[in-house]
Amino acid sequence: DAGITQSPRYKITETGRQVTLMCHQTWSHSYMFWYRQDLGHGLRLIYYSAAADITDKGEVPDGYVVSRSKTENFPLTLESATRSQTSVYFCASSENSASNQPQHFGDGTRLSIL
Amino acid sequence: AQKVTQAQTEISVVEKEDVTLDCVYETRDTTYYLFWYKQPPSGELVFLIRRNSFDEQNEISGRYSWNFQKSTSSFNFTITASQVVDSAVYFCALSEVPCGGSNYKLTFGKGTLLTVNP
């Protein structure tokens, strides 16, 4: 039972570069989410997806792009990375749209932008 | 807008002490769900419990217990006889029932760092 996996676990890049964080889940969950975790802010929602080809903005979407061509994958792209996007990124999934369903998280990607 | 406040930024206890982590929330909805997650030093986020707004019964799971009080908009988490392995950041989160099923949003508090010393 692989669950939800994120890759890479660690990434260092330079400002202005494009970087894509991958997220893959094996549960066939409908909903997938991307959060960033920063000191003093907790977890903040970047984007979420209700199903393949359906995505929507969260609290802090600027500078990020997502896609969901397949149910199991939900990549997050920083088109032109900035230092303020240095963070730990978490992907999550949940079974359906019911707000009582817990979200299950990947192990996170620690991204540093120099 | 929904909001979750975890006023305790850090708590330090000695092993075997009981410790309570506070969580206060704000919402305009009558139907909502509350969650607790644990983030150990290894970094992953682990789901601990879910509670709906219509069920105010306290819940106990081993050394963990949760006290939900709608009157004070609180959902506190108590660890009895704490252990070093309980050291982690604990997050409280709130989810409102989405309108039309499309605006699902989970709002997290900023977390409480619990350190249990041997």
Report the pLDDT averaged over residues B63-90: 95
B47 and A33 within 8 Å at the Cβ level: the answer is no
Tokens of B117: 């010393």
**What are the CA-CA distances from residue A72 to residues A63, A104, B31, B103 (Å)?**
23, 14, 30, 21
Q: What CA–CA distance (Å, rounded) separates A51 from A32?
A: 8
User: pLDDT tens digits, residue range A39-49?
Assistant: 878 899 999 99
Q: What CA–CA distance (Å, rounded) separates A52 from A21?
A: 18
Residue B18 — very low, low, confident or very high, per pLDDT cuts 50/70/90? very high
Number of CB atoms found within 10 A of residue A36's CB: 24
**At CB < 8 Å, which residues of chain B contact A?**
32-33, 35, 37, 42-47, 50, 52, 91, 95-98, 101-106, 108-111
Amino acid letter, B6: Q
| SS3 call for A97 | coil
User: pLDDT tens digits, residue range A5-49?
Assistant: 999 999 999 999 999 999 999 998 989 999 999 987 889 999 999
pLDDT of residue A96: 73
Residue-averaged pLDDT of chain A: 92
pLDDT of residue A41: 82
pLDDT of residue B7: 94
Q: What CA–CA distance (Å, rounded) separates A80 from A16?
A: 4
Contact B87, B15 (CB under 8 A): no
What count of CB pairs under 8 Å joins A to B?
57
Contact B18, B78 (CB under 8 A): yes
B44 and A105 within 8 Å at the Cβ level: the answer is yes
Contact B111, B91 (CB under 8 A): yes
